[in-house]
Amino acid sequence: MRLSRLLIIILGLVIILSMALWLVNSLTQLYWQISGVSYLLAWLLLLLLIVLFGLLIFAFLYYANLVRMPKRLQRIPPEVPQIKAEAAEKNLKALQQQVSQIQDEVARQALLARSRQIEASLSRGDLRVVVFGTGSAGKTSLVNGLIGRIVGRVGAPMGTTDEGATYRLQLRGLERDILITDTPGILEAGGPGGDRDQLARQLAVEADLLLFVADNDLRRSEFDALEALARIGKRSLLVLNKTDLMTEGDRELILAKLRERLRGLVNPEDVVSASANPQPLRLENGQTVTPDPDVIAILRRMAAVLRQEGEDLVADNILLQSQRLGEEARSLLDAQRRREAEAAVDRFQWISAGVVAMTPLPVVDMLGTAAVNAQMVVEIGRVYGCELNMDRGRELALSLAKTLTSLGIIKGAVQILTTALEFNVATIAVSRVIQGMSAAYLTRIAGRSFIEYFRQDQDWGDGGMTEVVQRQFQLTRKDEFVKGFVQQAIAAS
């Protein structure tokens, strides 16, 4: 406590004590004077003075901060852990830059809408719990059982099971509301079943916490689905449902087997049993009784996980969604750039063929079309956002031409096309066709190699230029491609 404040408190107490002594003496005299006229008036005046004196004392103590007024508690949504929130915001900013370059209007608007949803999730106050599993496992019954057991407000369902019915819940001890979603069944056959399966998996990916429902030991397809979700970081609780149909021994045996089988994917304490929709029981007197749903174990475990890990689960999920959306945007942008770059390669390969055909060389030589290839490199670089001048383009083109020569690819290309032309050329001068087509073929290999170079941020990768060029040559020497290339060349000529 600071010295000035201490002095004020001491001085205030002295003043109050002095006033109290003076007040007692004055009130005594005043009381006896007025009481001679009216006892009621005397007591009213005494009471008023005491109240005023009490207010003076309270005001002093409040100023001295010795008495605090109780504040109204407000429910403030918890903040997402800062580091993960900043990482998500960084991903979203990068995403918006990428999306602006996507030409497909529908895809661009869809990505922007989903990015805005993620941005809203950074400040949302809800925990998303998704109930996931096959259609026969009893997911809807489990949701109904949980809703009936949870103490608090339950909102009206939003949507249907085919779409993913969602309920808003409040659970004691949690600052956030819970959105619990009952998903369509997975692993259903047929077109509509496949659509529902895809929707269920998408909802599971967007969840903060998963309740994976099974009614026995997991089939291989169920295990694969749970493993795939765990691989991307989804936190799951496994619920063994319909245990009312099992003996106690069978239930414990299945639970033990599940815990062992899921080791490393699901924590042993996160494998719990439930009987969400117990079968009716017939009593000795002939009456039928339906037991209450037994979901206490899953409810307790879910509440414990959400209380202990809820904030991290929200943060991890937001970060995951921003990363996945960024990957989707990069994939769309990469496909768009590849199409543009391949169109440039298609155009420049026939330009190379025309240059060589007009000035036929004794031997096909990539150096003879260096200027064309340099321009192609510059244009491919521009597609990938890399502005190169012609000198740098020529340098890269000549470097790759030397690699083609050293690997014997030029000679190999001529042999491949000569063999193919024996069955396709009748009236055209074979030597000129071979030279022009070989130039186009080699330009294509070079162009495809440069696409890989720019896709990897101007890096040839661990194997260097040689490995990239050899891989492209192997891809273009397949019979189907060569036949199509030859037919296209003849049609162009």
What does the alpha-carbon distance between residue 199 and residue 276 come to, in Å, rounded to a whole number? 24
Structure tokens at 72: 């109204």
pLDDT at 72: 40
What does the alpha-carbon distance between residue 132 and residue 138 come to, in Å, rounded to a whole number? 10
pLDDT at 95: 77
Structure tokens at 230: 């765990």
Which amino acid, residue 485?
A: F
SS3 387: coil
Q: Which residues pair with 59 in a beta bridge?
A: none
H/E/C letters for each residue in the chain? CCHHHHHHHHHHHHHHHHHHHHHHHHHHHHHHHHHCCCHHHHHHHHHHHHHHHHHHHHHHHHHCCCCCCCCCCCCCCCCCCHHHHHHHHHHHHHHHHHHCCCCCHHHHHHHHHHHHHHHHHCCCCEEEEEEEEECCCCHHHHHHHHHHHCCCCECCCECCCCCCEEEEECCCCCCCEEEEEECCCECCCCHHHHHHHHHHHHHHHCCCEEEEEECCCCCHHHHHHHHHHHHCCCCEEEEECCHHHCCHHHHHHHHHHHHHHCCCCCCHHHEEECECCCCCEECCCCCEECCCCECHHHHHHHHHHHHHHHHHHHHHHHHHHHHHHHHHHHHHHHHHHHHHHHHHHHHHHHHHHHHHHHCCCCCCCHHHHHHHHHHHHHHHHHHCCCCCCHHHHHHHHHHHHHHHHHCCHHHHHHHHHHHHHCCCCCCCCHHHHHHHHHHHHHHHHHHHHHHHHHHCCCCCCCCHHHHHHHHHHHHHCCHHHHHHHHHHHHHHC
Structure tokens at 491: 């049609």
Contact between 319 and 87 under an 8 Å Cβ cutoff? The reply is yes
Structure tokens at 104: 């497909």
SS3 294: strand
Structure tokens at 234: 């989804």
Nearest to 11 by CA among 440, 333, 457, 3: 3
Nearest to 378 by CA among 442, 450, 439: 450
Structure tokens at 378: 């510059």
Structure tokens at 21: 């002594």
Residue 304 makes CB contacts below 8 A (sequence gap 6+) with none
pLDDT at 407: 77
Nearest to 243 by CA among 200, 285, 193, 293: 293
Q: How many CB atoms lie within 10 A of CB 13?
A: 13
Provide φ and ψ at 94, rounded to 5°. Answer: -65, -40
Q: Does domain 84-328 have CATH number 3.50.50.60?
A: no
pLDDT tens for the chain, residues 1 to 493: 445 656 666 776 677 667 666 766 666 666 666 666 666 666 676 676 677 667 666 665 655 554 444 444 344 444 455 676 677 777 777 777 778 888 888 888 888 888 777 777 666 668 899 999 988 888 888 988 888 765 444 444 444 445 568 888 877 777 788 889 998 888 876 667 788 888 889 889 888 999 999 999 999 999 999 999 999 889 999 999 999 999 999 999 999 999 999 999 999 999 999 998 888 888 777 788 888 889 999 989 998 999 888 888 888 888 888 888 888 888 888 999 999 999 999 898 888 877 776 665 544 455 557 788 889 999 999 999 898 888 888 888 888 888 887 878 777 776 776 666 654 544 444 556 667 777 788 888 889 999 999 998 888 888 888 888 888 888 887 766 666 666 666 666 5
Percent composition of the chain: helix, strand, coil (DSSP 3-state, to 5):
65, 10, 25
| DSSP-derived pairing of the beta strands 165-169 and 177-182 | antiparallel
DSSP class of residue 67 equals S
Nearest to 241 by CA among 147, 157, 140, 150: 140
Provide φ and ψ at 175, rounded to 5°. Answer: -70, -35
Helical segments of 65-190, H only: 82-99, 105-121, 139-149
Contact between 217 and 254 under an 8 Å Cβ cutoff? The reply is yes
